[in-house]
Structure 1
């Protein structure tokens, strides 16, 4: 009798385990070469991303001119990307085998972390887009400052982390999901159970993608329309001769700088959307093809975290110089008495009235714009002086 009861208990336990671990999608068998290629790709991109995002944070901390409102969100994005790369490094180990090689508690931590970091990256890109929209289209100094005070910036950054944390916490406090090893995809995300996997996948895709995509699209569309309108207005002033030569040169320099920075950030957003869209488009679809492609899509998604520092280093006008200073320990050249005397001699060659008027007009315009848009005053003045010499 006891033997029958024990046998019945074992059978019922096996039925429960089979139900919890079952999935509607078919079993996908991956070759050793496929596993090694995807794992090697994750390992390489995670190593590049860890170094690159560390360089971004170090550049902002070391170079004072990079410590602006926009770059506060850029640092937040770099931190999220850094943690994503650390998670991707561990995911590359988990993907090598059909069985979990890591401790199960570590796999759950990895699943919790990747959900938070990916969500934070999406939300931070939205915050950057809104910041660029306000910074470029708003001319009033007071309006820009009221929207981006230190307290409000801190609150926005906390919000970019808070929403993903809430989504990742749902499986821990309810039966709406279960974080851990996904035997179908061989990743540490959430388990592909027939009981709740499609619902949780749909929740993640809905919270992380559609609203943020609309906000990104609208923000950069408005920036594009404003820049086009401003460019046409500047060209009309040039033809009519309404503004002075120094003011025209200054306006062109300022507009060129803003467009360059915004274009760089727009490239970051486009690359991220290209990396994230395949994953969320395939998420939760039960088919053999999706089950085979989804790990590749997730590898591309995590690889995006190493791309942003490369974009900054090659495209961003400020980060390109900062990376050179940080990586090669270059210090800003300080003016010596000899160079100062040379500059004073050059200035003395100009008539006093002309040089004074131009200098006063340029400095006042530069300071006004720098206060409104948090731009390096010395850099803009240097660009204006060079343009006038040409």
Structure 2
């Protein structure tokens, strides 16, 4: 997210072959991410089943990831430069750094809010949602996330802590600081990312605990109902048959909970993998190859979410197929 440099390290550069490796991966990630996040946005816009309140945040995440992927080719230009300067105007590089910084903070913050919203929805009855879970309020949260993310980008240059521009050491557009205050700022970003990871784990851990507890309650209730139905007299066989009927429903609920748990586990694991390395590097800042690769891994997080939706989410799967096959969606998929 940011890079700190000392006067001595500014003369040196990361080995060019490291930058070529990172550039090659990021250009591939850019192509996949632009395509995947575009699919997500279009799917939500044209598919009635996907136009849910929670998916407002999913679209918000997709927009942030789309902008990140759109900036990656401009980062690649910097990585492949061997002149020690950015080939395009410096303002372009500063803009790229600003957009990437804002979008990465927005993406991480949105994931945490999605975790909170999912816990709020899952742990309460449908009627209990409406106090907070409304389109207007969720849209307001999305706007606030962008404002908070932009503030993280604007404040350091305004306060004179550092500047946005080209880091000749790393060969990329980033936040550049030479003062001790800049080191504190970069370390605070690492603490922020670590906090994001912790909050995400807490929210999804609470979801998992609720799912397991809910599952156990259903099993216990069904066991009691089944015992009652077996001991019923011959005259109550119809009633016994009725009490047996929840079995398919309970099995379906259990299967749905298992799928939700798997999806949550996948999202959390990929999120941790993409952000943990950078978090460690920012908490203990320094100029090293590991910082470059950690930054690369963090940027690839903008690619993985559409892949998860395509592989794990049935409604997104169906919408993706309709778009890719250029087939007209059925009436239930199109808004009136």
Q: In the alignment, is the contact (CA less than 8 A) between 1:62 and 1:326 conserved in 2?
A: no
The aligned counterpart of 2:231 is none
Indicate the residue corresponding to 1:356 in structure 2: none
Mapping for residues 267-278 of structure 1, pairs under 5 Å: 267-278=266-277
Give the alignment's TM-score, normalised by structure 2: 0.85
Equivalent position to 1:307, from 304, 307, 314: 304
Does the residue aligned with 1:89 lie in a helix, a strand or coil? helix
Give yes or no for contact 1:177–1:200 (8 Å, CA) kept in 2: no
1:379 match:
none
Find the counterpart in structure 2 of residue 347 from structure 1: none
Matched ranges for 1:1-390 at <5 A? 22-23=6-7, 25=9, 28-97=12-81, 98-139=84-125, 141-206=126-191, 208-241=192-225, 244-261=243-260, 263-283=262-282, 285=284, 287=286, 290-332=287-329
Is 2:187–2:285's contact at 8 Å kept on the other side of the alignment? no
Task: Give the CA deviation at 1:43.
Answer: 0.6
1:196 is displaced (CA, Å) by 3.8
What's the CA shift for 1:26? Answer: 7.5
| Match in the other structure for 2:230 | none
- CA distance 1:166–1:247, change in 2 (3 Å): same
* Distance across 2 between alignment mates of 1:24 and 1:196: 18
State the shift of 1:236 in Å: 1.9
Give the Å deviation of 1:331: 4.0
Give 3-state SS (helix, strand or coil) of 1:190's partner: strand
CA 1:249 to 1:118, structure 2 compared with 1: closer, same or farther past 3 Å? same
Report the count of equivalent residues: 313
Unmatched 5+ residue regions in structure 1?
Answer: 1-19, 336-375, 377-390
Closer, same or farther in 2 for the Cα pair 1:154/1:258, shift >3 Å? Answer: farther
Report if aligned partners of 2:10, 2:168 keep a CA contact under 8 Å in 1: no
C-alpha distance 297-334 of structure 1, shift in aligned 2 (>3 A): closer
Secondary structure of 1:209's counterpart equals helix
Q: More deviation in 299-308 or 253-262?
A: 253-262
Task: Give SS of 1:189's match.
Answer: strand
- For the pair shown, the structure with the greater C-alpha radius of gyration is 1
Paired residue secondary structure (1:23): coil
Partner residue of 1:369?
none
- With CA pairs under 8 Å and 6+ residues apart, which has the higher RCO, 1 or 2? 2
Once residues 283 and 123 of structure 2 are traced to their aligned partners in structure 1, the CA distance between those partners, rounded to angstroms, is 40
- Distance, in Å, in 1 between the alignment partners of 2:157 and 2:133 is 35
CA RMSD after TM alignment: 2.5
Q: Are the structure 2 counterparts of residues 183 and 55 from structure 1 closer, same or farther at C-alpha, using a change threshold of 3 Å?
A: same
Distance (Å, rounded) in 1 between the aligned partners of 2:106 and 2:5: 30
Structure 2 unaligned regions, length at least 5: 227-241
* 1:83–1:117 CA contact under 8 A, matched in 2: yes
The secondary structure found in structure 1 opposite 2:326 is: coil
